[in-house]
Amino acid sequence: MVEAKRATKADLKRVDSIIADYRGQRWGLVPLLHELQGALGYIPPEAIPRIARGLDLFPSQVQGVITFYTQFYTAPRGKNIVRVCRGTACHVRGGKTILKLVKQHLGIEEGENTPDLKYTLETVACIGVCALAPNIVINKDTHGHMNPKKVARLFSRKD
């Protein structure tokens, strides 16, 4: 599980200032959520009632939109999103071992962030490049033909 993080006073001040730009404009919910996530990296759950008040909506309507769009997150995420493919082709070519090694290197389980928020680890179904199995994706870059040495190389970088 991704650890819960409470919004700071500064975060909520930022939330309120973004809401002020959309006050009373229900159509502005999605752009507001994008702006908020861009500013804080996620949408703090504490922001939901504030957004609802500001846009004259029910909190459940705000929550519904956040849940509907997969690009919105209510918990902080790492700077780098690591996705290990769990599709069949990757699985039969050692994907399970690759996932285990990535977990060991990062010291986290699937769905978690590293404490420094450098990485978030997720798994995905087939990413469409089965010929390169087993695959992992880091942000927008696909790394194919993964093996233990490549995993070590990718995660021992000092960036």
Under the criterion CB under 6 A, does residue 36 sit at the interface with ligand FES? no
Under the criterion CB under 6 A, does residue 99 sit at the interface with ligand FES? no
The three-state secondary structure class of 133 is coil
What gap in Å lies between CA 94 and CA 135, rounded to an integer?
Answer: 10
Under the criterion CB under 6 A, does residue 57 sit at the interface with ligand FES? no
- Residue with smaller CB distance to ligand FES, 139 or 156: 139
Beta bridge partners of 80: 119
- Residue with smaller CB distance to ligand FES, 51 or 85: 85
**How many residues at the interface with ligand FES, by CB under 6 A?**
12
Which of 2, 12, 89, 154 touches ligand FES by CB under 6 A? 89
What gap in Å lies between CA 1 and CA 116, rounded to an integer?
Answer: 16
Under the criterion CB under 6 A, does residue 90 sit at the interface with ligand FES? yes
Residues that bind ligand FES (CB under 6 A): 85, 87-90, 126-130, 133, 135
